[in-house]
Amino acid sequence: MPEGDTVWLTAARLHDSLAGGRLSRFELRVPRHATADLTGSIVLEVVPRGKHLLMRIEPDVTLHSHLGMDGSWRLRRAGERVPGPRAAGVRAVLMTDAWLAVGSDLARLDLVRTDREDEVVGHLGPDLLGPGWDAAEAVRRLGVSPDRQVAEALLDQRNLAGIGNVYQAELLFLRGVHPTTPVRSAGDLDRLVRLARELLMANRTSPGHVTTGDRRPGRRHWVYGRAGAPCRRCGTLIERGRIGRPVEQRVAYWCPYCQPSP
């Protein structure tokens, strides 16, 4: 699933291309909104909210989307071939005089009034890349469930919005914390969430989620995706496992020496 920095970059590209443009084509290929038509309306802005995208369209409509595991928004020049009605995975087609935006395999797509956006994103915690980032509130929310595994708590978008599996794994390695450690034993939560923001901010303008400072292929991460490979710090083999409740388990990576089990 895309991390918050990927969604931020997607929103920035959509905004730069579509904002201020008048829609000459508007299709939502989902049953709930199949008859919606905003042709002729102007796209006001596209903003991210954690892992969610909010495209605000005049006069007071927001197209909300969530990429889920495999979703994407692709930009093409206007005049290029529009995906036909049977194109696999296509959920949204928007066109202005200059650009064609195609949303594919989106996990969620909603039309709501702009003043009611809280219906789709109001449950989210502080946005790590948002202008209203509140580290103290993120720490408070994490601390509400002190016995919860810290990796699971970081992935809960109700605590802070934007962290996925990559940053969960990398953050905990950098802080020397095992992913199954209870929140109450995870050390300085303020330093943890501030480091999370630093990492996402550093990566928001380019793809790759680089946490080691080395952008060469195969050297971008400390532990994520490196099960069975030697730790870059101590040489111990990286381990991989599952965290969280059985119905919502997620993958975790860690170094058993640098991140001792609680």
User: Using CA atoms, how far apart are residues 148 and 145, in angstroms rounded to an integer?
Assistant: 6
Give residues with Cβ within 8 angstroms of 93, minimum separation 6: 25, 26, 27, 29, 82, 83, 100, 101, 102, 103
Please identify which of the residues 25, 194, 240, 250 carries the catalytic annotation. Answer: 250
Residue type at 31 in one-letter notation: P
Please check whether residue 174 is in contact with residue 210, taking contact to mean a CB–CB distance below 8 angstroms: no
What residue ranges in 165-255 does DSSP mark as E strands? 239-243, 250-254
- Has 248 been annotated as catalytic? no
Does the active-site annotation cover 220? no
Q: Exactly one of 29, 49, 51, 220 is catalytic; name it.
A: 51
- What whole-number distance in Å separates Cα of residue 180 and Cα of residue 191? 18
Residue 197 annotated among the catalytic residues of the structure: no
Q: With contact defined as beta carbons under 8 Å apart, do 143 and 152 qualify?
A: no
Contact in structure between 107 and 68 (CB atoms under 8 Å): yes
**How many angstroms separate the Cα of 80 from the Cα of each of 32, 71, 76, 92?**
27, 21, 7, 16
State yes or no: is 141 an active-site residue. no
User: Per the structure block, which two tokens stand in for 146?
Assistant: 């002190």
Q: How many other C-beta atoms can be found within 10 angstroms of the C-beta atom of residue 38?
A: 18
Instruction: Indicate the residue type of 254.
Output: W
Tell me if 240 sits within 8 A of 250, measured CB to CB. Answer: no
Which residues participate in catalysis according to the annotation?
2-3, 51, 250
